[in-house]
Amino acid sequence: MTPTADQANGRPDTRVPYADQRRELILATLRTSGRADAADLALELGVTNETVRKDLVALEQLGLLRRVHGGAIPVGRLTYEPPLASRTALSDEKARIARAALHHLPASGSVLIDGGSTTAKLAEILPRDRALRVYTNTLSIAIALMDAPLLTVYTLGGRVRPVTGAEVDDWAARALAEINVDVAFLGSTAVSIDRGLTTPDAAEAAVKRLMCTSARRRILLADHSKFGKVSTCKHADLVDIDVLITDDGTSPEMLASMRSTGLEVEVV
């Protein structure tokens, strides 16, 4: 690979080549500084001004910032929603959380598996020797379970969001209104003591809200990167969740705050 100018001069290569990483860093700058200067971002990220402009346009189209002359300003304390296929960070933590979630599976009956990278890990390791009805709003999760003859798998139907692969809108809502499940394994983009569980998309938030009401027991699977953040659309309060399973990267202060609400918290 041809060295960059920085590498040729003995300086570390500061380029951030992946769009998802750049956009997370842009939003982090907005959260901490209240404004992001396009020229400064290009220098910090080691990319061209045009690349930064495209990132800002993409984030503005998602409703996460407002472009102004020379840069951008935030539209609130929001989180970026990367495509599901790109969510490879914290893979070990997500796998530990998924394994811990297995202890909450009923011996028989029905479960609901929300969309998300951690819930997808759970689907991968779901026991194939139990007669369970599995409902999901995510096609990739349903496909991952098709090889298990004892599992009866249902998808909710509806419009499929390209970013997350989740089924949303009226068909999904009608399906959730007609079912009752023993346990729902849920995900969330952001988790806050004050604002509860939030996600960037209103249609997906509406489906998640109905998932909570259709389940007798609700288990939230969330790695430490989700905490202390607020996204656009609220779909649950902490009191709506029975158990939170997270990893040991979550700060002791955050764990104490979560437990102070009466939430049962498992750390793996």
- The closest of 259, 247, 255 to 97, measured between CA atoms, is 247
Three-state secondary structure string covering the chain: CCCCHHHHCCCCCCCCCCHHHHHHHHHHHHHHHCCEEHHHHHHHHCCCHHHHHHHHHHHHHCCCEEEECCEEEECCCCCCCCCHHHCCCCHHHHHHHHHHHHHHCCCCEEEEECCCHHHHHHHHHCCCCCCEEEEECEHHHHHHCCCCCCCEEEECCCEECCCCCEEECHHHHHHHHCCCEEEEEECCCEEECCCEEEECCHHHHHHHHHHHHHEEEEEEECCHHHECCCCCEEEECHHHCCEEEECCCCCHHHHHHHHHCCCEEEEC
pLDDT at 13 > cutoff 60: no
Structure confidence by residue, pLDDT tens digits, 162-202: 888 899 999 999 999 999 999 999 999 999 999 999 998 99
- Specify the pTM: 0.70
At 40-60, the pLDDT tens digits run 999 999 999 999 999 999 888
Q: How far apart are CA 83 and CA 42, in angstroms?
A: 23
Residue-wise pLDDT for 100-109, tens only, equals 999 999 999 9
Q: Which two tokens stand for residue 56?
A: 């800002």
